[in-house]
Amino acid sequence: MKLITDDRCRIQSRELFKPNTAYQAERKANGRVELVELIEKDVPVVKAVRTKEGFIMFPPGKGPGRGAIRAFTREDRDKYQ
């Protein structure tokens, strides 16, 4: 299948792309461009609490642990390198 962009550099194909979905373009070594659908993750939201000393902390037992924060940050960072 051959796709051609319009005057605003857009590609449309109802057979290939879902409407209102974000894609990331990745250029491969052989000169081809691969479109990868971006999947949004549900991120847990916890309201932070400010202490008397001015620190912002999670309420006890409600926030994620240090290991979970560290793992998520590394996973997210390594995905885009």
Structural domain spans, the chain:
23-79
Residues linked to residue 33 through DSSP beta bridges, in sequence order: 27
In the chain the beta strands, taken as DSSP E runs, fall at 23-27, 33-37, 49-50, 56-57
Going by pLDDT thresholds of 50, 70 and 90, the confidence category of residue 81 is: low
Mean pLDDT of all residues in 44-58? 76
Please state the pTM of the whole predicted model. 0.39
Higher pLDDT, 40 or 24: 24
Going by pLDDT thresholds of 50, 70 and 90, the confidence category of residue 3 is: confident
Residue 25: phi, psi to the nearest 5?
A: -90, 130
At residue 43, the pLDDT reads 67
Going by pLDDT thresholds of 50, 70 and 90, the confidence category of residue 53 is: confident
